[in-house]
Amino acid sequence: MQELLIATKNKGKVREIEDLLRPCDIKVVSLLDFEKMPEIIEDGKTFRANAAKKAVMIARHTGRLVMGEDSGLEVDFLGGKPGVYSARYSGENATDELNNAKLLKELSGVPLEKRTARYRSAIALADKDMLVDVVEGSCEGVIATEIRGTNGFGYDPLFLIPSHQKTFGELPLSIKQTMSHRANALREFLKLLEKYLLLK
């Protein structure tokens, strides 16, 4: 069985990736499974840059095959914010709750038709010698006017899918995994991984 190290300590992210990779005979481990790992400063200007940095840094440190993923929310009315700052939008001690509260405040009074947004995900593959490649995926939605649902993490309780009239916070994981930005990127990642393993 192929082992893949996910360069993250985000439990929600690990859970989603494990679920998506379960049919693929891939054993997933993450930074949560290791005691000492270098700290990764996410200072890239794009999701691609951050994903690549995570993958390369951890692959060089461990000598393992590593996936680096970076994702976030882009709100059109806010000029694409929070973007790469999604996880720390409300400041140094940001939490999902504080980030969501800030987003709601900034969109206060903005009508639903102007609250268009998308989740983006970039996933990088690296081994001890190189960055193999980076793939991307996205999912279009609208920012709801209030917190809805307790599923998922991040901005999921605010990310409304118009076709379902429910947020990712309300939809079960099984439905989210058919359409999310991370699921779309992961489908491309699996093609990349398969090609890489065939050439090795």
Show which residues are catalytic.
70
Residues in contact with 198: Cβ distance below 8 Å, sequence separation at least 6, in sequence order: none
Largest pairwise CA distance in the chain: 55
Look up tokens 């914010």; give the residue. Answer: 81
Kindly state the DSSP code that residue 107 receives in the 8-state scheme.
T
| Structure token pair of residue 63 | 């000598």
Residues 179 and 139 sit within 8 Å (Cβ to Cβ): yes
Look up tokens 């891939």; give the residue. Answer: 26
| Structure token pair of residue 73 | 């929310």
CA distance 188 to 129: 22
Kindly state the DSSP code that residue 82 receives in the 8-state scheme.
B
Which strands make up the sheet holding 2-6, listed edge to edge? 26-30, 2-6, 66-75, 116-126, 131-143, 159-161, 166-167
